[in-house]
Amino acid sequence: MARFLLVMLAFTLSACSANWGWYVVNPQTKAGWTNLSFLLSGLKYTVLLSLTAILISIVVGLLVALPGLSSNRAMRTASRIYVELVRAVPILVLILWVYYGLPQLTGLTISVFWAGVIALALSDSAFEAEIFRAGIQSIAKGQYEAAYSVSLNYTDTMRYVILPQAIRRILPALGNQLVYMLKMSSLVSVIGMQELTRKANELVVTEYRPLEIYTVLVLEYLVLILIVSAGVRWLERRMQTDERA
Amino acid sequence: MPPDAPDAIIRFDSVSKYFGEFQVLKSIDFKAASGERIVVCGPSGSGKSTLIRCINGLESYQSGVITVDGVQIGQSVAALRKVRDQVGMVFQQFNLFPHLTVLENLMLGPTRARRLDPAQARAIAMKYLERVRIPEQAGKYPRQLSGGQQQRVAIARSLCMEPRIMLFDEPTSALDPEMINEVLDVMVELAGTGMTMIVVTHEMGFARKVADRMVFMDHGEIVETAPPEEFFTAPKSARCKDFLQKILNH
């Protein structure tokens, strides 16, 4: 058994070494460097797209979550319907619908970037709404009562008392959504957005080196997301020192 | 006080409240004069917390009329705000804002609701922190304080709104025994300032010392109301006698 595994390992390794062609992205050659900077040039759009979309989706998510917590039944139902509908549409389908369908409906042309932002933000907002709802519901009733007792109105109660506490609790979940957003932004490549995945696809077509180029792509996302994770953890630690004795 | 005294700052006229099918308040008639100190007691589930929570609109009611300082509660959001500007409340579980420092806890109401500028709000906050004898804790977070200190911060937070009425909902029930007195001392001192106070508590020593009037509730009704002397020495109803026996001889 052990001998069989060793043989298999040797076979795999030799197969690998026979097929790798790292020259295609070797920064020490001129062509390799050009290819590499071409791949990396998508980074700006991936980051910009994801950040814009997550900011919008957080705002929309909050605006959907608040009526979902209302004592008014019609408001709760409206919020529920939004979440259920938007959550049911696959992101790729939403991207195609927003980019190709929405202009026909509205008569406005939408740039690839904004089509991507709208589709990603819309799709994510349903999830953000559920996260906010859970976070807000986890705050004790006594906090509202104390705020109302010092004569705060609903808006100030949410802004200064409830949301700051809720956001601390949902920060890990919000971080998750940002990571998810970074990954899902790769889907916007299908409508021609010049982000990381699109750049990789274009280079593969001219260089015929999918293994190396897509490996670089994997590493690009990996590094990006590790940085984001570290950032979210740092923020979590920073915000929670307040509350701990 | 006589039923139709004009200076009643709080009035309940046949107020009833239900939680679903269950009637928590049964046609309550109740009045408090300005500056009066009333202690409400009774067995758990008797409706005493609900009664005082109605006074600042934390509980709604289904029939009757509640008027606080001439403003009827339940009419509009504006009316409710007006009442809450006049009524401070201290809770059993303190309910401090855990993400804010002591000073920020105290300044939130004055800056947001009373629209004072931060310097003024800070001055008021420090004044009341000194009144409850913990000015040195201003920069700390609630979790860094003992229960007794937290409750004193909560009292100071209410006082920063400079209310005319203070409500206390079992303010010492969640405290360790050795911390009860530091909170009661602050309340006794407050009683000396002429503040209208309605206190739900089982601290009968405090009641004897401070109350102008005792109110005994059971099963959603005010069963008996009397000055403390009379209340403790000669309770009229059997339910009240029974209750006093239980809490005074434990």
Mean pLDDT for chain B overall: 94
Dihedral sign, CA of B21, B26, B31, B36? negative
Residues of A near B (CB-CB distance < 8 A)?
Answer: 140, 142-143, 145-153, 156, 160-161, 164-165, 168, 242-245
Does B114 reach chain A within 8 Å, measured CB to CB?
A: yes
What pLDDT does A240 receive? 74
Nearest to B99 among A147, A243, A245 (CB): A243
What pLDDT does A95 receive? 96
State the complex-level ipTM.
Answer: 0.93
Spatial contact of A158 and A66, defined as CB atoms under 8 Å apart: yes
Spatial contact of B89 and B40, defined as CB atoms under 8 Å apart: no
Give CA B171 to chain center in angstroms: 8
- Cross-chain Cβ contact B85/A151 below 8 Å: yes
**Residue recorded with tokens 């029939």:** B63
- Cross-chain Cβ contact B98/A142 below 8 Å: no
pLDDT per position as a tens digit, B165-203? 999 999 999 999 999 999 999 999 999 999 999 999 999
- Structure token pair of residue B123: 């001055």
Q: Assign B139 a pLDDT band (cuts: 50, 70, 90).
A: very high
Q: Assign B221 a pLDDT band (cuts: 50, 70, 90).
A: very high
Average pLDDT on B204-223 reads: 95
User: Measured between alpha carbons, how far is A29 from B175 in angstroms, rounded to an integer?
Assistant: 74
User: Measured between alpha carbons, how far is A117 from A187 in angstroms, rounded to an integer?
Assistant: 11
CB pairs A-B closer than 8 Å: 75
**Residue recorded with tokens 């933000």:** A121
- Cross-chain Cβ contact A245/B98 below 8 Å: no
Nearest to B91 among A145, A164, A165 (CB): A145
User: CA of A211: how far to CAs of A201, A204, A218, in Å?
Assistant: 11, 9, 10
User: Measured between alpha carbons, how far is A207 from B61 in angstroms, rounded to an integer?
Assistant: 76
What pLDDT does B6 receive? 57
pLDDT at B49 over 50: yes
Nearest to B95 among A145, A151, A242 (CB): A145
Nearest to B91 among A146, A161, A242 (CB): A146
B97 interaction partners in chain A (CB closer than 8 Å)? 143, 146-147, 160-161, 165
- Cross-chain Cβ contact A151/B93 below 8 Å: no
Phi, psi of B221 (to 5 degrees): -125, 150
pLDDT per position as a tens digit, A6-53? 676 666 656 665 578 899 888 899 999 999 999 999 999 999 999 999
What pLDDT does B247 receive? 87
Q: How many CB atoms lie within 10 A of CB A181?
A: 24
Q: Assign B7 a pLDDT band (cuts: 50, 70, 90).
A: confident
- Cross-chain Cβ contact B161/A244 below 8 Å: no
Nearest to B88 among A149, A161, A165 (CB): A149
Nearest to B58 among A143, A145, A164 (CB): A145
What pLDDT does A86 receive? 95
Read off the amino acid at residue A244: R
Tell me, what DSSP letter sits at residue B186? Answer: H
Spatial contact of B156 and B183, defined as CB atoms under 8 Å apart: no
Q: How far is A74 from chain B (nearest CA, A)?
A: 20
Mutate to test the interface with B, among A150, A167, A236 (most CBs of B within 10 A): A150
pLDDT per position as a tens digit, B51-94? 999 999 999 999 999 999 999 998 888 999 999 999 999 999 99
Nearest to B160 by CA among B168, B152, B149: B152
User: Measured between alpha carbons, how far is A198 from A192 in angstroms, rounded to an integer?
Assistant: 7
pLDDT in tens for each of the 245 residues of chain A? 667 766 766 666 566 655 788 998 888 999 999 999 999 999 999 999 999 999 999 999 999 999 999 989 999 999 999 999 999 999 999 999 999 999 999 988 899 999 999 999 999 999 999 999 999 999 999 999 999 999 999 999 999 999 999 999 999 999 999 999 999 999 999 999 999 999 999 999 999 999 999 999 999 999 999 999 999 999 988 887 555 54
Q: How many CB atoms lie within 10 A of CB B20?
A: 5
Average pLDDT on B130-145 reads: 96
Strand partners, B17: B25
Does B158 reach chain A within 8 Å, measured CB to CB?
A: yes
Question: Is the pLDDT higher at A3 or at B245?
Answer: B245
What pLDDT does A245 receive? 42
- Cross-chain Cβ contact A161/B108 below 8 Å: yes
What pLDDT does A11 receive? 65
- Cross-chain Cβ contact B99/A164 below 8 Å: yes
What pLDDT does A239 receive? 82
User: Measured between alpha carbons, how far is A9 from B81 in angstroms, rounded to an integer?
Assistant: 75
- Cross-chain Cβ contact A145/B141 below 8 Å: no
Find the largest Cα–Cα distance for chain B.
Answer: 55
